[in-house]
Amino acid sequence: MVAPSPVLLAVGETMAMLAPSDGGGVVDAATFLVDAGGAESNVAAHAAALGMTARWASRLGRDALGDRVLRQVSARGVDTTGVVRDARHPTGLYIKDPGRGVRYYRAGSAASHLAPTDADSLALDDVDVLHVSGITAALSASARAFLDAAITRARAVGVAVSFDVNHRAALWPAAEAGAVLAALAARADVVFVGRDEAETLWATPTDGDVRALLPAVAELVVKDGDVGATVFESERRTFVPALRVEVLDAVGAGDAFAGGYLAARARGLDASARLAAGHERAALTLRTYGDSIHDTAALPTPHLDRTSA
C-alpha cells in the first residue's frame, strides 16, 4: 500500500494580476497577461509540484476574475474546494506596470472579509501543516481575527502551523505591524522571515537577534537574500548559502523557498536538505518574470530528486 502524501493547507488572499504581455508599460501595451497572484496559493502550488497534497482556501468574488483565479490555481495541482465565493464583494486585482511599479485594487475585496467563521469551516482532519502569512493580518480587522482563529484551531487539533511573516509596507507600517507579526510568529511551529524585514519590524539586525526574539519557535528560518538562509532548531543553527543565479525578477521567490522547504520537511529531510530545497525552488522563480509560478511549477527541484531514492 502506498502511503498518502502529506497534506498542506494554505490560507490567504489571492488576487487577479494584470500585466503587459510584452513587458512594456500599461499605457502603450496592446495585450495583457491575466494571472493569479497570491503568496499562500503560490506556496501551495510549489508544494503540489513537489509531491505534497496541497489545498488552498480563501474568499473570491463571485465574478469573472474569481472564476479565472480559481481555474488557474486549480490547474497548478491545488485543491480549491475550500474557497468560498462571495457574491457581495469583488475579487482583488493588482496591475504590474513596468517602470511605474504595482498598483493594488484590493480595498473591500472578498478576501478582506475573511472572518473567524471562515476559520471554523476549515477542513483540518487530515491536514499535516497549515500555511499562513502576515499579509492576511494586514487586510482588515476581520481578516486578522480569522488568522488568529485559524492558528488557534490548527494548534488545538495538532496541525503544525507554518507562518511567513511577509510584511507588506504598502498595507501597514512597521510600527503597527511589528508587534502583531511577532505575536503571530511566536505561535507557529515553522516561521519564515527575511533578515532585512525582521530588522525593519523588530530592530533585529542579525539572525541571532531574530532567534533571541523568537526563542520558542521550533523551526525559525531566517532568509538573507543572496547570502543564504539559516534555520534555528532548539540549540542547533544550520546555514546553507544561496545559489548563484541571474535574477530576472525576485517577486515570488520567498513563496517558492517556503514551498520547497515545506516539501522537504514533509519528507523528513534534515535541516541542510530543507534549506537546499528552498534555495533550489527559489532559484527557479528568480529566473522567470512575475510572481506566477506557471513557468516553474512543473520543473524539478534537484535536491529533492537526489534525496527521493
The pLDDT tens digits of the residues spanning 246-281 come to 655 556 688 999 999 999 999 999 999 999 999 999
- Please check whether residue 92 lies inside any domain of the structure: no
Note the pLDDT of residue 306.
46
Contacts of 152 (CB under 8 A, 6+ apart): 119
- Please check whether residue 167 lies inside any domain of the structure: yes
Helix (H, G, I), strand (E, B) or coil at 288: coil
The region, left, alpha or beta by phi > 0 then psi within -120 to 50, assigned to residue 41 is alpha
Note the pLDDT of residue 22.
83
Task: Read off the pLDDT band of 97 (50, 70, 90).
Answer: confident
d(CA 133, CA 166): 6
**Per-residue pLDDT tens for 215-246?**
999 999 999 988 999 999 998 999 999 988 76
- Please check whether residue 24 lies inside any domain of the structure: no
Domain count, the chain: 1
- Please check whether residue 73 lies inside any domain of the structure: no
- Please check whether residue 272 lies inside any domain of the structure: yes
255 is catalytic: yes
Is 60 exceeded by the pLDDT of residue 109? Answer: yes
- Please check whether residue 235 lies inside any domain of the structure: yes
Task: Read off the pLDDT band of 98 (50, 70, 90).
Answer: confident
CATH of the domain at 241: 3.40.1190.20
Is 80 exceeded by the pLDDT of residue 4? Answer: no
CA angle 80, 142, 146 (to 5 degrees): 50
Note the pLDDT of residue 292.
47
Helix (H, G, I), strand (E, B) or coil at 213: helix
Catalytic pick among 79, 164, 255, 291? 255
**Per-residue pLDDT tens for 179-203?**
999 999 999 999 999 999 999 999 9
- State mean pLDDT over 83-108: 92
Note the pLDDT of residue 99.
80
Residue written as grid cell 503544525 = 160
Q: Listing from the earlier edge strand, what are the strands of the sheet with 93-97?
A: 32-37, 15-20, 93-97, 101-105
- Please check whether residue 133 lies inside any domain of the structure: yes
- Please check whether residue 106 lies inside any domain of the structure: no
Structural domain boundaries, residue 257: 7-13+39-57+114-307
Note the pLDDT of residue 289.
52
Note the pLDDT of residue 268.
96
